[in-house]
Structure 1
Amino acid sequence: MPVSAAASAREILVRLHDVMAARTTAQAKLNQVVQIIGDATASEVCSIYLLREGVLELFATQGLDQAAVHVTRLAMGEGLVGTIAEESEPLNLDEAASHPDFAYRPETGEDKFHSFAGVPIIRRERAVGVLCVQHVEPRRYADVEIEALQTVAMVLAELIANADLIDGATSASRPAPQAPMRIEGLKLVDGMARGLAVFHQPRITIEHTVAEDTEAERHRVYAAFDRMREQIERMSAQAEFGMGGEHEEVLQTYKMFAYDEGWSRRINEAIDSGLTAEAAIERVQQRTRTRMRQIDDPLLAERMHDLEDLANRLLRIVSGQMGTAAQMGLRQDSILIARNLGPAELLEYDRRRLKGVILEEGSLTAHVTIVARAMGVPVLGRVRDVRRLVSEGDLLLLDVTAGTVFARPTPAIEESFEAKLSLSQKRRASFAALRELPPTTLDGKRITLMVNAGLRDDVAALDLTGADGIGLFRTEFQFLVSATLPQRERQQRLYRDVLDAAGQRPVIFRTVDIGGDKVLPYLRDDSGSEENPAMGWRALRLALERGGLMKAQARALIEAAAGRTLNVMFPMVSEPWEYEEARALFEAQHAWLAQRGRKLPSDIRYGAMLEVPALAEMLDVLLPRLDFLSVGTNDLTQFLFAADRANPKLAERYDWLSPSILRFLSRIVGPARAHGVDLAVCGEMGGRALEAMALIGIGIDRLSITPAAVGPIKAMIRSLDHAKLTHDVPAMLATPPRDLRATLAAWAADHQVELN
């Protein structure tokens, strides 16, 4: 058995070097390759399958029947070989026939071989073949042997591509350049933009994979690391976001990866195996992509994306191919296209020319999304195959609000887009004109409109929208973008900055809502993954268990609010005792700080979030102890309907204007009012005009919504007759119509309520 993956791979690569340099046919080279690999791994079979015409064809083998070469063919996903290619993952089996995807091919004569190991041959991020070994005796190949096979497969990809043995991209797969196309994606950062398509970077082609001098390759990598770190430090120092915010912490996390010794060590190990500097970086990058496919945790996946972003940068430096669109400079209004993008890469672009970003990947929690939002750049993500469907220089009309991008639009499409853009700008201007006007109904009822926030810069929305305050400040954002647990002083600084920026307007801080589907890599639960994380060990449940975490946050909030009113709210309270325990923890920290002569808040107001339906049955116990109550309609609705809000198949069951939702909420209004407790809705429901109208109709007069929704909701409120609405909506709920949404929309139209 090989002593190490590097030694095993190096032994094979040294022998392969001469084979690849020889002036023989590609087939002759492959025949020699399978012999070398079979001998080095002590395997009785070594075979190479290559992708031709969309099918995996046996191209070379040692140990199987030679008559099967160019005869045995497997579709993607068929058999063990097809499974490896389709999933781009290795397989290592001591008994091949026991695998559910095993497919026997009698012409190969492989029935006597039991063990099987195979790895994908990957080129340009797709599997173009499979390298596999087999053995008569049942045995699992050692991890170092699998690692060696993967390294060898990477070198094979170069040989195979140079010999033109694999499928190439056909021109037929690309739409005609002049054909207009509408492409859909995921809304990441809202907005509209027009510009020409610019590809972030050309694909780096690695010309040489086998090293002549490993020490020389190592020095090349060291020099590239030094240069990359200088670039990251320079960009971090030059980034401008006004008053700062969580995006700065994103860059700190990014810098942490740039200095990660584990990453540089893995690249060195790949060089030890006989790879060039470029090939070693690519080899480690392939491992990263494999790990990313195995990660269910979106936060950890985003960390891996950051690492891949740095690997791309390092690869460009070491290869001398630094020509990204950012370095070349944007010459006109541009829409940037990339598979994925790191935060530092986005910061390299000229903000005056960069009008939007389209990503093949991307997510709402990605670091680049946070930075783009701070920069005010619209981003559309999960746009599948966009780099194939769009050509450099194509005119693009990006409408993230609609979740679409038009490529090569017709004049009619352009005219429609420009009209929508103009209307959007006019509407924004009209909403801006409402900034100084109160959200008061036609008959004089004042509605409180607040905004939801989570970043330091979000506080600027108070002045931009004229909102009454921050009804929900999500403190977990600081935890989600940090590589380590934020220290109390850092938390305190953020909370103080937010309060300073808000001035006399109230800010309601929600204690950390982490856990469940918001797992932090530095705060793991040893009990394993949860099947239903939304209803799992998260929010207040987790915080009460980890008292140190909550104590640190309590002290940070109390000290930050010195001399001011502190509004603190506990998320996902299921029973009154949870609220009491959390409040007692805060009061104990308050007393501890008072004993030490620290400056304290002038008042602390305590509230709870009603997201768990069970809490509604205990309000008579809880309300006397509350100063305010906020309804989180996002979680509440999915719990009431047992309908996962992220599941598209259940979208129709997740309707905020269902009579059951409004009836449930209306039963809370009376008791809260009777106890003098402020009642607000702080979920997405309140940010939609028709839904907000219904909420006001059942007696809710406090809404906390996204900043972008303040203008439209204020316009709706100022067109309402509150007395008429609060009379008619309860009547509708008493005998619900078949389609309450349609009935409410008709009521709004009849009473000239502004809903657009």
Structure 2
Amino acid sequence: MPTSAAAAAREILVRLHEVMAARSGAQAKLNAVVNIIGEALDSEVCSIYLLREGVLELFATRGLDERAVHVTRLAPGEGLVGTIAKNVETLNLDEAASHPDFAYRPETGEDRFHSFAGVPIIRRERSVGVLAVQHVDPRRYADVEIEALQTVAMVLSELIANADLIDEGAAGSTRPQPTATQRIEGFRLVDGMASGVAVFHQPRVVIEHVVAEDVEAERHRVYAAFDKMRDQIERFASQAEFGVGGEHDEVLETYKMFAYDEGWARRINEAIDSGLTAEAAIERVQQRTRMRMREIDDPLLRDRMHDLEDLSNRLLRIVAGQLGTAAQMGLRQDSILIARNLGPAELLEYDRRRLKGVVLEEGSLTAHVTIVARAMGVPVLGRVRDVKRLIGEGDRLLLDVTSEAVVVRPSSAMEEAFEAKLAASQKRRAAFAALKAEPPVTQDGQRVTLMVNAGLRDDVAALDLTGADGIGLFRTEFQFLVSATLPARERQQRLYRDVLDAAGDRPVVFRTVDIGGDKALPYLEHDEEHLEENPAMGWRALRLALEREGLMKAQARALLEAGAGRTLNVMFPMVSEPWEFDEAQALFEAQRAWLASRGKKLPSEVRYGAMLEVPALAEVLDILLPKLDFLSIGTNDLTQFLFAADRAHPKLALRYDWLSVPILRFLRRVVEPARAAAVPVAVCGEMGGRPLEAMALLGLGIDRLSITPAAVGPIKAMIRTLDLSRLRAELPPMIDVPDGALRPRLEAWAADHGVELA
């Protein structure tokens, strides 16, 4: 067996090229292919399964019973072959029967074979078959063998397509678009409403030729495409229309870093060495990236991989000589962009006068495209399934990200209702904006502190826009998440100082970095032997920071230097026991002493707080409260921990109501001792940003809320119509002696007492 993937694949491709050029029929070619691969990999079995009429049919084999050809069929998801096709993933097993999806088919005579490896045959991003090898002895196939199989699968895709063997329905061919009105739900990424026609971001580049005639010529084509792509990206980055200095700048720098990544270029070169054309080599590396993305549980790392895929698409279009994107063809009217995913540079290509919104099949809150779209003011709806099947090019769309939906081909009545809602929303925003200068004071004269949550430098502008009292939660981890390397202390310090300068005399509460768990950083070493099944309750936040002392010391010094001459508010996340708070505070104080010994200017005061997200902390408040300057309750994590319910689980997301008796009783048990100890208590979480829930929090005795900027207006309107003394007198009996669900009782109370719950 050759010692490199390129050599192994080239040996097979040379022989396959002869098979493809022969005049024999498709079945004879497939029969020849399985023999070539089996011999090259020294494997007793090599089989090809093709997707026909929705099932995977054994089309050719070397080593299995010949009578099983065209007889053995597996549904997608059935058996190992079906699993590979359904998940578009590679399997490499030393003992096939040990896999939970293993399904024995007696007619194949495969019972004597132990090892199994299989790769999907991909056509237009969809699996149309499976190439599998098996061996009598239990052994895992080497990486070079798997890579050779993956390369051969690309050639097979071309062969079976030319032989008209592909089930085109499964291969992603254009299907008739529905014409009826449809409402499609998604996930809120960037808030807003917009209407326009559907425009697809890019048609797929179909690779017609896979095997190279001249390897050096293909290599030069790729080099030229790399140069052109990098020039494009430099131009986009320098011409970005929004301001400078925000996190979107860091996003573009990280994106540019990927474009200049020598490892990526080397992998494409290796694929060309194996005998592939430039287009096929880029696609080969891109397929490998997609498979890696499916294996990665960490959403942040997946988002970075999306940037690499975006660059692959750009490089593929350049080398194929295709303009490809709708941006390069120009938007001719108000448009809603449709895409599987986008990179930040892709979005920047579009004319912002015509681009009104974006609908993505994928996407996340931390994706680079989301950050850039937020800076551009473009609403984005993500995680919209089957978007290319349900929406046709040129369809009229009504995008309402606030309602987490897009309406396709709306009726005239729907259009009128949408325009009315948009006008009402604009009127409501204007009414809330008019309250900007008004204090959040209740009908009975009690002042509530309304602050905003932030994580970006640009978010500080919300203080002036909303009239908020300050920033009750600044999430410092975002700078870490969008960076390709650990942010230097000087860079952290610059961000924190900019935030404090922009806030002026209004307080800012900096939460120390909350990374780890589902927010893992690719540049920090991970313990591969201890993969976390439940990252939300894993090695994250303060737990990780206390272990990675260097990381926390750098952040402490950056915060202390940034806060020179002013009050610095520091909050530690996910404190579970008082000793964790003690260690974190001692670390900060040691850094303060170190800076003082070197004559550095320091904050006039440092106030330390804890975030209560872990229910266990409520049991030791008598120990913790005397040490605190303030306490913040993180209702998002607290709720999932209290109910043992993953808030990201679709079946559990709405199961447990924030206005349920367990939550309100728990919160009251925290608030009462804190008030007795004169420790201010705030709520930082989505619960505080909903008018009815916020009303209940105020009724429990909480008078400090830190919420999203968009929620400040509605919450302030609620506060200014509320008789708080009356609510605090009448809420306890509802909690102590509940009579059915609390939500309808609270809604009725608000209606009876004229509380505005817009």
Unaligned stretches of 5+ residues in structure 1: none
Residue 67 to residue 410, structure 1, CA distance change in 2 (3 Å): same
Unaligned stretches of 5+ residues in structure 2: none
Which residue is 1:236 aligned to? 237
Which residue is 1:748 aligned to? 750
The one of 527, 544, 549 equivalent to 1:547 is 549
Question: Separation in 1 of the partners of 2:488 and 2:457?
Answer: 17
The CA deviation string for residues 445-493 of structure 1, in whole angstroms up to 9 with x for no partner, is 1111100000000001111111111010010111111111111000000
**Secondary structure of residue in 2 paired with 1:649:** coil
Contact 1:641-1:653 at 8 Å conserved across structures: no
Which residue is 1:160 aligned to? 160
1:13 correspondence with 2:21: no
Cα drift, residue 173 of structure 1: 8.8
Cα drift, residue 730 of structure 1: 2.3
Cα drift, residue 111 of structure 1: 4.9
**Secondary structure of residue in 2 paired with 1:330:** coil
Which residue is 1:431 aligned to? 432
Question: Separation in 1 of the partners of 2:696 and 2:138?
Answer: 67
Question: Separation in 2 of the partners of 1:602 and 1:625?
Answer: 19
Residue 394 to residue 295, structure 1, CA distance change in 2 (3 Å): same
Cα drift, residue 136 of structure 1: 4.8
The one of 649, 652, 656 equivalent to 1:650 is 652
Pairing 1:573-722 to 2, within 5 Å after superposition: 573-722=575-724
Higher alpha-carbon deviation: 597-606 or 453-462: 597-606
Cα drift, residue 98 of structure 1: 5.3
1:249 correspondence with 2:250: yes
Contact 2:573-2:611 at 8 Å conserved across structures: yes
Higher alpha-carbon deviation: 444-453 or 248-257: 248-257
Higher alpha-carbon deviation: 252-261 or 662-671: 662-671
Question: Separation in 1 of the partners of 2:95 and 2:623?
Answer: 62
TM-score between both structures, scaled by the size of structure 1: 0.96
Higher alpha-carbon deviation: 461-470 or 677-686: 677-686
Higher alpha-carbon deviation: 93-102 or 74-83: 93-102
**Secondary structure of residue in 2 paired with 1:401:** helix
**What amino acid maps onto 1:186 in structure 2?**
F
Contact 1:81-1:130 at 8 Å conserved across structures: yes
1:25 correspondence with 2:25: yes
Higher alpha-carbon deviation: 633-642 or 205-214: 633-642
The CA deviation string for residues 360-417 of structure 1, in whole angstroms up to 9 with x for no partner, is 1111221211221222111111111101111110001111111111111111221221
Residue 172 to residue 542, structure 1, CA distance change in 2 (3 Å): closer
Residue 103 to residue 703, structure 1, CA distance change in 2 (3 Å): closer
The CA deviation string for residues 78-130 of structure 1, in whole angstroms up to 9 with x for no partner, is 33332322232233345545555444445445455554433221111111112
Pairing 1:501-580 to 2, within 5 Å after superposition: 501-526=502-527, 528-580=530-582
**What amino acid maps onto 2:130 in structure 1?**
V
Question: Separation in 2 of the partners of 1:549 and 1:99?
Answer: 40
**What amino acid maps onto 2:22 in structure 1?**
A
Question: Separation in 1 of the partners of 2:365 and 2:631?
Answer: 28
The CA deviation string for residues 533-561 of structure 1, in whole angstroms up to 9 with x for no partner, is 22222211221222211111111111111
Cα drift, residue 272 of structure 1: 0.7
TM-score between both structures, scaled by the size of structure 2: 0.96
**What amino acid maps onto 2:708 in structure 1?**
T
Which residue is 2:259 aligned to? 258
Contact 1:2-1:145 at 8 Å conserved across structures: no
Residue 652 to residue 360, structure 1, CA distance change in 2 (3 Å): closer
**What amino acid maps onto 1:276 in structure 2?**
T
**What amino acid maps onto 1:707 in structure 2?**
P
**What amino acid maps onto 2:200 in structure 1?**
F
**Secondary structure of residue in 2 paired with 1:37:** helix
Higher alpha-carbon deviation: 510-519 or 640-649: 640-649
The CA deviation string for residues 329-349 of structure 1, in whole angstroms up to 9 with x for no partner, is 111111000111111111111
**Secondary structure of residue in 1 paired with 2:550:** helix
**Secondary structure of residue in 2 paired with 1:118:** strand
Contact 1:19-1:32 at 8 Å conserved across structures: yes
Question: Separation in 1 of the partners of 2:92 and 2:515?
Answer: 37
Which residue is 1:223 aligned to? 224
Higher alpha-carbon deviation: 270-279 or 557-566: 557-566
Count, aligned residues: 756
The CA deviation string for residues 128-162 of structure 1, in whole angstroms up to 9 with x for no partner, is 11222344555543321221111011011011112
Higher alpha-carbon deviation: 442-451 or 594-603: 594-603
Contact 1:196-1:396 at 8 Å conserved across structures: yes
Residue 8 to residue 747, structure 1, CA distance change in 2 (3 Å): same
Question: Separation in 2 of the partners of 1:744 and 1:528?
Answer: 45
Which residue is 2:292 aligned to? 291
Residue 369 to residue 109, structure 1, CA distance change in 2 (3 Å): same
Cα drift, residue 73 of structure 1: 2.5
Which residue is 2:39 aligned to? 39
Which residue is 1:314 aligned to? 315
Residue 634 to residue 77, structure 1, CA distance change in 2 (3 Å): closer
Question: Separation in 1 of the partners of 2:23 and 2:181?
Answer: 48
Pairing 1:107-506 to 2, within 5 Å after superposition: 107-111=107-111, 113-136=113-136, 139-169=139-169, 174=175, 176-506=177-507
The CA deviation string for residues 412-431 of structure 1, in whole angstroms up to 9 with x for no partner, is 22122122111111111111
**Secondary structure of residue in 2 paired with 1:187:** strand
